Amino acid sequence: MTAETANHILKNIRIVLVNPLFGGNLGSICRAMNNNGLTDLAVVDPCSDMDMDEARRFSCNARAQLEARREFATLEEAIADCTVVAATSARTGFYRDTSYTPREFAPIALESAKDHKVAIVFGREDKGLFNEELALCSHIIQIPSSDLYTSLNLSHAVYLCGYEIFTAASVFQPSEETAPEADTALRERMFRMWREMMIETQFVHDQKLDHMMMGLRRIFNRGKLTVPDCKILMGLAKQSIWVANQWKTEKAKNDSH
């Protein structure tokens, strides 16, 4: 999937909030959506005394997303043009027995969003979604959580669902190491310098030097060493040897007086 295609699909995924209560959550949700490439926000019957100043503060650089939200009187209106509609719920029982985790639902959402609008519906902070609202949805999402506390903060729930969709869309490409890997010759030069450093700094007695070097090799060979890595380590060893020799010279001068 190209980045252009993935971004088109993400634009077709709508976050729907039913009767949200707190401005801080609304602002944080705008940030969470933009973190994951989502831009379609629908708010159903928001609390009349919601603190919008708080919402703007919590939205930070996603304030444009907050201003772009659309408000609807009913959930049915907010999802009217959507095909796949997933309700999020922490409760179990009748109507809720067949559910998906956000990771399981992500490919379903992405497949449908190629050509259609998809909605993920989140309920009230205190009461979640009612059964009549669940009845309007085609899927149910349950976010895995500990039995110690199964209810998630609303903005966290939005972020987790958005993250799984964004990850499955393969939009994000992590940075890769570009420096060349150190070859054996360079690594052996580095190990010789560290051996000399341990001698000059009196870090280890001669009888334990080979044992210490084997330990050092194990440490450095656990991961890939690049050429810049080796040069930094060699520079550290070289400077440590110089400091040790300076100290010895100063000590010899003081002892001669």
Q: How is domain 3-168 classified at the architecture level of CATH?
A: 3-Layer(aba) Sandwich (3.40)
Task: Flag whether pLDDT at 207 surpasses 90.
Answer: no
How many other CB atoms are there within 10 angstroms of residue 117's CB atom? 18
Q: Residue 97's pLDDT band (boundaries 50, 70, 90)?
A: low
pLDDT over 90 for what percent of the chain?
A: 76
Token pair listed for 85: 């509609």
In this structure, are residues 1 and 170 in contact, taking their beta carbons and an 8 Å threshold?
A: yes
| Ranges of each domain in the chain | 3-168, 184-256
Highest mean pLDDT among 30-34, 142-146, 171-175: 30-34
pLDDT score recorded for residue 95: 57
Q: State the Cα torsion 183-189-194-195 to the nearest 10°.
A: 120
Q: Residue 247's pLDDT band (boundaries 50, 70, 90)?
A: confident
- Distances in Å between the Cα of 102 and the Cα atoms of 143, 157, 168, 189 are 6, 10, 11, 50
Handedness of CA 32, 38, 43, 49 (dihedral sign): positive
Token pair listed for 88: 């999020």
Between CA 19 and CA 26 the distance in angstroms is 11
User: Which residue, 230, 237, 220, 236, is CA-closest to 180?
Assistant: 230
How many other CB atoms are there within 10 angstroms of residue 39's CB atom? 17
The whole-chain average pLDDT of the chain stands at 92
